[in-house]
A and B are shown apart, each in its own frame.
Chain A
């Protein structure tokens, strides 16, 4: 099963049928997203973020049967995560850990994370070579030289590969956006 090609709906259906691998794929697909909602969106400290992370996935797993539209797994998981984060912020405030902090849903930041997830999903649909080179260069900030050494490529060819792969990624993202706008 290819993680990049299998839809959320297909994975959810497989999970309901008891496929543990499908569940692991859903966790893998959304682990960065759930983590970022807690740590970046709500700026929770790591121990609280860990509880949110585990609770969000545990609730999703337990309540899969209640999900009406299998393809709506992502917004459903995001909503559960947000609720858990808000509860955690309120608890911290009420227990006096951060009494000055207003508990707000940081919707602007969450929109940015949604867009970041779309880019990650676009990246997942590219070839393995493109995935690796773009992730190393843009996300891990590695130099041409480091990338060249790791991938056993001449450093002089890295720039052109990045440019080509970026083109593929843009095409993926713009293609998806066109579908969304048309529908």
Chain B
């Protein structure tokens, strides 16, 4: 393994090499556990409630919103996959 000498220039270069990711991306990734739990709840609801499932099939985004759930793109895509819509 080569030994790096941490000169001022090298430290500066390496610190600049990792700029922060956009804050919104980080927040969305950090929220994954909660988002997944909510997704599971929506799937459970859709399984237990035929009317809700029908509403999701007709207009997924509108049905989510009217049930009080956010309807962002990732959630919509994931639900389409999980509900085989």
Q: Which of B1-20 contact A (CB under 8 A)?
A: 1, 3-4, 6, 8, 11-12, 14-20
Verify A116–B15 contact, CB threshold 8 A.
yes
> How close is A74's CB to chain B, nearest CB, in angstroms?
13
Residue of chain A at shortest CB distance from B36: A61
Q: Within 8 Å of chain A (Cβ to Cβ): is B30?
A: yes
B-side interface mostly: helix
A-side interface mostly: helix
With A112-B17, A181-B1 in contact, is A138–B25 under 8 Å at CB?
A: no
Verify A116–B18 contact, CB threshold 8 A.
yes
> How close is A137's CB to chain B, nearest CB, in angstroms?
8
Chain B interface size band reads: 20 to 34
A123: contacting residue among B8, B15, B32, CB under 8 A: B15
With A58-B32, A177-B3 in contact, is A35–B25 under 8 Å at CB?
A: yes
* Contact partners of B48 in chain A: CB under 8 A: none
Q: In the bound complex, what is the Cα–Cα distance between A119 and B21 (angstroms)? A: 17
B29: contacting residue among A53, A169, A173, CB under 8 A: A53
* Contact partners of A119 in chain B: CB under 8 A: 6, 11, 14-15
* Contact partners of B29 in chain A: CB under 8 A: 27, 31, 53-54, 57-58
Verify B32–A57 contact, CB threshold 8 A.
yes
Verify B1–A33 contact, CB threshold 8 A.
no
* Contact partners of B26 in chain A: CB under 8 A: 27-28, 31
Q: Within 8 Å of chain A (Cβ to Cβ): is B65?
A: no
Q: In the bound complex, what is the Cα–Cα distance between A54 and B15 (angstroms)? A: 23
Q: Within 8 Å of chain B (Cβ to Cβ): is A76?
A: no
A35: contacting residue among B14, B19, B32, CB under 8 A: B19
Interface residues of B (CB under 8 A from A): 1, 3-4, 6, 8, 11-12, 14-22, 25-26, 28-30, 32-34, 36, 74
Interface residues of A (CB under 8 A from B): 15, 18, 20, 23-24, 27-28, 31-36, 40, 50, 53-54, 57-58, 61-62, 112-113, 115-117, 119-120, 123, 134-135, 138-139, 141, 166, 169-170, 173-174, 177, 180-181
Please list 10 pairs of residues, one from A and one from B, whose beta carbons are closer than 8 Å in the complex, sorted by A's number. A27-B26, A31-B20, A31-B26, A31-B29, A36-B17, A54-B29, A120-B18, A123-B15, A134-B15, A169-B11
